[in-house]
Amino acid sequence: MHNFTFTPHEDSLIVDTGSSNTWVGANKSYAVTSTSISTQRSVGDNYNIGSFVGSEFLDDVVLAPGAIIHNMSLAVATFAEGFDGADGILGLGPTALTEDTFDNNGTETIPTITDTAFAQHIIGSKIVGISFQPSQTFFDKTGELDFGAADPAKFIDPLSYVPITSVSPSTFFVGINQSTTYGSAGTVILNNTAGVIDTGCSLLLLASDAFERYMEATNSTYDDTTGLLALPAEQFGSLESLFFTVGNTTYEWTADAQIWPRSQNSLIGGTDDNVYITIASDGTPSGTGRDFTLGLVWLERFYVVYDSANNQVGLANTQYTNSTINSQ
């Protein structure tokens, strides 16, 4: 989560590239001030973890010190469920995802925070750079959003850009095409296929058949207590990297990146005898047009740029790509 100031107070919001509405009021009341303008229009949306309904306000949003967005459209929830610990969502996905959320109007969209900042010349490009880093501290705020331009200090290799996939339904999100292999033998987990990058998802999700291939390749087993795949700790040394080929570039997701931080095993009901893998099945077979979801555990190792104006995504390795923090 990240903190954003909606005059006159801060709200802790889930950063979500899988949706595009920005809204508050899930756990803290919205304070109406002299800058608040009610449009008396209803807004609502459904998510995998919950839903909200509310009404639209126009208000000032502090994007960064000295950068204030005026009259930004945001929803104020009158009802919300599934968002314990968060005040709402900061939607960073494509503007089209706001269709069907506004007064039950199937075609009208709501400008995103990126759209509005660009329209008011606060940023020069409709770009959001997304940077996270692995941490051994639960809920540690180890991320940064770069509006308007990528931050070269956050990545170590040149950014490689690929177009948003044309495959539905991934094309409607921050979707890309990629192939996935495991280990030095190049075991195929997924052939070139479409999926999404989603900051609102904690794990890395694979189509059910790809998940089974990963389980077989790693000799991991499902752990009922944690709901994750597990390996005996002494077998961690045999866990190999996953390789994601996106465009002409292959990105290595190391064994360390694939596991839950060992120092935090007790938080998920695990034991020191196992390592727990942060890859899960999405419950559907491959071929649906959304065969993977690259969630937060993946984003902690790579820098991502979403360029909505040019309908493309940029990726690069970071100083945390090869970190061994999770296995410590």
Q: Which long-range contacts (CB under 8 A, 24 or more apart) does 231-234 make?
A: 231/274, 231/275, 231/277, 232/273, 232/274, 232/275, 233/262, 233/272, 233/273, 233/274, 233/275
Greatest distance between any 2 Cα atoms in the chain: 63
Cβ within 8 Å of residue 293, ≥6 positions away = 195, 196, 197, 198, 201, 203, 204, 205, 282
Cβ pair 132, 299 in contact under 8 A: yes
Is 198 annotated as catalytic? yes
Instruction: Write out the two tokens for 310.
Output: 């040019």
Determine the Cα–Cα distance for residues 39 and 55; give it in Å rounded to an integer. Answer: 8
Catalytic residue among 59, 198, 223, 291: 198
Determine the Cα–Cα distance for residues 45 and 74; give it in Å rounded to an integer. Answer: 13
Determine the Cα–Cα distance for residues 39 and 201; give it in Å rounded to an integer. Answer: 31
Catalytic residue among 16, 146, 256, 307: 16
Phi, psi dihedral angles at 315 (to 5 degrees): -130, 150
How far are the Cα atoms of 40, 168, 176, 283 from residue 287, in angstroms, in the given order? 42, 11, 14, 12
Helix runs in the chain, H state only: 113-119, 208-218, 296-299
Catalytic residues: 16, 198
